[in-house]
Amino acid sequence: MEAITATVIGVVGTALFAMFFMQFQHLRQDMAAGFQAAAQDRKALDEKFTGELKAQGHELKAQGHELKALEVRLTDKFTGEIKALDHLLRGHGERLARIEAKLEIEPPAEAA
């Protein structure tokens, strides 16, 4: 009777151990598949993010060129206007100096 009990316990123990080992293998495979899927998802997100960053970089570069062109246009425009205003003011200053000389008026100290 002891031999039968020992045999039954051995068979049941072996079956439980085999079931545990099979479940462990299945769990390991599921975890490996989950990690692989997570790695693929991360790679896809990385590619999408990299693509969006490149697109944003191109857009910013284009906007930088537009800003540079605007800066050049404004600089040219205001440089011309400042030169014209300077020419006008010099003309008025010369006229004022002639008027003061004709009327024999001493220019104010601030004019010097």
- Annotated domain spans of the chain: 2-107
Residue type present at position 94: E
pLDDT of residue 102: 85
Could you tell me if 11 and 17 are in contact, meaning their C-beta atoms sit under 8 angstroms apart? no
**Torsion sign over Cα 30, 35, 36, 40:** positive
Mean pLDDT, consecutive 10-residue stretches, the chain (112 aa), reads: 87 90 91 92 93 92 93 91 90 86 75 58
What's the predicted TM-score (pTM) here? 0.44
> What radius of gyration, in Å, describes the C-alpha atoms of the chain?
45
